[in-house]
Structure 1
Amino acid sequence: MRPLEPAAPVDYVAIGDSFTEGVGDWYPDGTARGWADRFAGHLADQGREVRYANLAVRGKLLRQVMRDQLPAAVGLRPTLVSFSAGGNDLLRPSGNPDLLAAVLEEGVRRLREAGAEVVLFTGVNVSRGYMSGLVGRFARYYLNIRSIADRHDCHLVDQWSMPVLSAASVWDTDRLHMSSEGHRRLALRVAEVVGVPTERCWDEPLPEVQPVEWRVARRADARWAREFLVPWVGRRLTGRSSGDTLDAKRPDLEKFLPGG
């Protein structure tokens, strides 16, 4: 996949779940910012005309993205689409990485046939921490995504190969979504993948952090379980989602200004 032409206008549409909506990175008014907004800013910083829509909604499964967001994205006739979904499916016992990949590939095919360049993502390495038991399932999905990117000539952002994303400081307190620093660095990585120059690099060393005392860490674990894990399990058991009452934050292609 060749890089974006430096001066060419871009109509960019982002589809997916909380990862793309930007949960964990907040504007002062409490709405999600996230890497996609930041990436749109990097596009605009090059002096090109940028129109941007973000259809992603937290908690959505891949079939919901395909049903609700993909047709809307195709209808906007974008030149560039970022597409990341399936993670919420894989957190469920029924999540089959090969079946999910087949659905994702159908979405990619439709976007490419509509004339859009497509950015795909692997996820981060989950071999450590509370999701380590699911590493095989996630890794299998990501290998499928690599193959899809190859077959359909897509840009691929490989988060698995970004060691900076293993640091605690790039993750929000819920330990599931990236922090503002994580979103900032990922936006820089996406810009690099599509060939958009930026003033800073995604892999700049992180500040050194002092080790956390064992008892402090265990209290933090207990607080995380009480405030985030238990409510998440409760939503899964009752078939609810954190995005059930939410709409897309940027449903239409609108001009995005530098620093926007």
Structure 2
Amino acid sequence: MGGWERSSAVDATSLGSYVALGDSFTEGMEDARPDGGYRGWADRLAERLAARNPGLRYANLAVRGKLIRQIVDDQVPEAIGLRPGLVSFTAGGNDIIRPGSDPDAVAELFESAVAELSATGARLLIGTGFDTRDTPVLRHVRGKVGTYNSHLRAIADKYDCGVIDLWSMQVLQDPRAWSADRLHLSPEGHRRVALRAAEALGLPVTEDWREPWPPRPEQSWRTQRIQDIQWAREYLAPWIGRRLRGQSSGDGRAPKRPKLERLCGAQSSASASPSEAERC
């Protein structure tokens, strides 16, 4: 088994394996690689771990659009079977944004999975929900996200989990942290979250996720409204349509990296080009 005595920091040099669980956030949308796949914060974190231990094996079982029950039923047993030393587990966001969802019930499912994963001896890294204060459409669920985050903090304390505190990452309030769909992080957003995750694990980093964004040109009110209309037509309307039809963007989709495998370019810097994240 890949577990170790729990401590505030991870010894990356002796970590044998890492498995990432979740939805589109952990799958890595919209952090595109040249081959058409997605990289994302979890891949970037794995690269940082592998830079310190080239023998690290990594699997990413996350699939876009998945609800927490699907993640708990499908991905958690797979992860337990892989017996990793480190597991990152982020889930519940797709549930929380749905009308009528109960953050207390979602948190109960989340804790049941954490209990199972913790019993294997693996170190756990979980993530809170984002602050949706300035996010179109999702700002109305900010209170539910806050309630859910309170549960996640309590779960982290109970099971000694590392926490990626996404809510406190005010740097992600900048539009440049998000892709054109305004629902998924941009490559730079993923890079900053990977740095925050490394910090949560006690890994040494030379970059700072808090670094201010450079100034950006002012946009007229008219330009902003045109962009809003284009976004609603290209992204919001299809998203609502899928919800009404009971469809998910992840239906029929398999995980991008279902097996524990070593990373190519393990000796390279984690800030290298996306091709460094491709599997060997």
TM-score class, shorter = over 0.9
Q: Which amino acid aligns with 2:101?
A: G
Q: Which residue of 2 aligns with 1:139?
A: 146
Helix, strand or coil at the partner of 2:250: coil
More displaced, 16-25 or 48-57?
48-57
What is residue 221 of structure 1 aligned with on the other side?
Answer: 228
CA distance in 2 between counterparts of 1:124 and 1:249 reads 24
Aligned to 1:172: 179
Residue in structure 2 matching 1:191, options 169, 182, 198:
198
Mapped to 2, the partners of 1:120 and 1:47 lie a distance apart of 22
- Following TM superposition, by how much is the alpha carbon of 1:6 offset from its aligned partner in structure 2, in angstroms? 4.3
Map residues 104-115 of structure 1 onto 2, 5 A cutoff.
104-115=110-121
Give the secondary structure class of the aligned counterpart of 1:175. coil
Q: Whole-Å Cα distance in 1 between the matches of residues 140 and 74 of structure 2?
A: 31
Say if 1:8 and 1:48, in contact at 8 Å, map to a contact too. Answer: no
Structure 2 CA distance for aligned equivalents of residues 85 and 120 of structure 1: 9
Kindly report which structure 2 residues correspond to 1:118-157, keeping only aligned pairs within 5 A, or say none: 118-130=124-136, 131-157=138-164
Deviation at 1:128, TM superposition (A): 2.1
TM norm structure 1: 0.97
1:89-138 residue CA offsets vs partner (Å, 9 max, x unmatched): 11111311001001000000000001111101112211223211111111
Q: Structure 1 CA distance, aligned partners of 2:79 and 2:53?
A: 24
- Report SS of the residue matched to 1:165: helix
Q: Please, which runs of 5 or more residues in structure 1 have no aligned partner?
A: none
Contact 1:84 1:121 in 2 (8 A): yes
CA contact (8 A) 1:8 1:49 kept: no
Determine the C-alpha separation between the residues in 2 that align with 1:6 and 1:119: 14
Provide the residue aligned with 2:106 in structure 1: 100
Instruction: Note if contact 2:68-2:110 (Cα within 8 Å) is conserved in structure 1.
Output: yes
Q: Deviations over 1:30-52 (max 9, x none)?
A: 11110000000011112452110
Q: Which residue of 1 aligns with 2:262?
A: 255
Q: Which runs of 4+ in 1 moved over 4 A?
A: none
What is the distance in 2 between the residues matched to 1:124 and 1:65? 19
- d(CA) in 1 for partners of 2:170, 2:72: 31
- Aligned AA (2:36): G
1:88 matches 2:94: yes
Q: What one-letter code is carried by the residue in structure 2 that aligns with 1:92? A: R
Percent identical residues: 48
Q: Which amino acid aligns with 1:156?
A: V
Q: Give me the whole-angstrom Cα distance separating, in 1, the residues matched to 2:42 and 2:154.
A: 23
* Aligned amino acid, residue 164 of structure 1: V
For residue 65 of structure 1, what is the amino acid of its counterpart? I
Question: Structure 1 residue 76 and structure 2 residue 82: aligned?
Answer: yes
**Residues 12 and 49 in structure 2, CA contact (< 8 A), matched pair in contact too:** no
1:231 aligns with 2:246: no
Q: Which amino acid aligns with 1:122?
A: T
Indicate yes or no: 2:27 matched with 1:17.
no
Code of the aligned partner of 2:220: E
- Bigger drift between 204-213 and 180-189 goes to 204-213
Match of 1:60 in 2: 66
Cα separation, 1, equivalents of 2:151 and 2:241: 31
1:8 maps to what in 2?
14
Aligned to 2:3: none
Aligned-residue CA RMSD (Å): 1.1
Gaps (5+ residues) in structure 2? 1-6, 267-275
Moved more, 6-15 or 160-169: 6-15
